[in-house]
Amino acid sequence: MTSRDTAPVGLAGAAAPAEVTENESVGTVVVAGLANLVIAAAKLVAGLLSGSAAMLSESAHSLADTVTEVFLYVALRRGGKPADEEHPFGYGKESFVWAFIAALFTFIGGAGFSIYHGVTTILSGEHSGHYLLSYIVLAVSFIAEGTSFLKARRQVRNESERWETTPARFLRLTPDTTVKAVFFEDSAALVGLVLAAVGIALAQLTGTELADGIASILIGLLLLVVAGTLARSNVSLLVGRAVPRRMHQQIADDLAGIPVVTAVPTLLTMQLGPGDILVAAKVDFHDEVTGADIEAASDEAEERLRRRYPEIRYVFLDPTRGSAGRTHRDGGADI
């Protein structure tokens, strides 16, 4: 048996991540960032003039979102760097690092300030009026945030249709941390604006700052939920998350469907980045096949998998002895 028969068969091609999706993600992040920057300034002015805790919390919320968009933009650019000698699998995981930092900033900067300021307002807050200005800023902010949210939702819907799944499942499983972050942050922003409006209106009607302070605390808790959700997702991807179970099983079926393959005893997958997937498998070939047959089967496996899932960038097959007629599917992210 030649050394080729015993060594892993590596199929590393030049299939690039989907550039259209990446460009759309950049556009989504830029639109969200610009909207949040303008909104943060308007909310800050209204909050300082009115003394509203909810308005100041919303200002901190928008400022945190603006900085988050900067981190997400860096994540897209850094994660898209091509592979080199020191990083043969590319820099895709770096995008998860920056997205995790963005989640931490939302946790500390946005949620921490909102909860603290809400508590202090309940204990000793004073409201100087200017309710009309607050309502105008909230209304304009809702329109701006809604525009950003609609763009993010459109991208989520398009991507979920491409993957033939529901938007909710796509958001739960997607490794594209940027579109997930923008979608959740814009959703939280719209809810936060409603909470702020209700808090200010109740404060105006009752003449006390209790409702305003409670609204600020609720905004902070909302940010905590968003930050925790995004952080948990990014940690999972940094550790090395497998592809979704349905995709994992389809890859196993495609490999097992090659004529000279008897079984796939082991199949491992990992998300290398938002648009890069690694596939490694131990494959049991028919005993009578030659080295040339294995090479041809490996080429066919690479073609099959990439035709179905263009995000698969690396495929490594290791010819091995296995249990004939049985395909064992290891891994697969059950999330």
Q: Is the pLDDT reported for residue 11 higher than 70?
A: no
Query: What pLDDT is stored for residue 333 in this prediction?
Result: 61
Specify the CATH number of the domain 243-319.
Answer: 3.30.70.1350
Q: What percent of the chain has pLDDT over 70?
A: 87
Query: What pLDDT is stored for residue 281 in this prediction?
Result: 95
Query: What pLDDT is stored for residue 24 in this prediction?
Result: 65
Q: Is the pLDDT reported for residue 15 higher than 90?
A: no
> How many Å apart are CA 76 and CA 96, to the nearest integer?
9
8 Å CB contact between 190 and 145: yes
Q: What CATH class has 19-239?
A: mainly alpha
Q: Is the pLDDT reported for residue 16 higher than 60?
A: no
Q: Could you give the count of Cα atoms lying within 13 Å of 251 in the half-sphere of its Cβ?
A: 35
Q: What is the pLDDT of residues 244-274, one digit of tens each?
A: 998 999 999 999 999 999 999 999 999 998 8
CB burial class (10 A; 0-12, 13-18, 19+) of residue 204?
middle
Do 243-319 and 19-239 fall under one CATH topology? no
Query: What pLDDT is stored for residue 334 in this prediction?
Result: 53
Q: What is the pLDDT of residues 206-256, one digit of tens each?
A: 888 888 889 989 999 998 999 899 999 999 999 999 999 989 999 999 999
Round the average pLDDT of the chain to a whole number and report it. 83
Domain boundaries, the chain: 19-239, 243-319
> How many Å apart are CA 287 and CA 261, to the nearest integer?
10
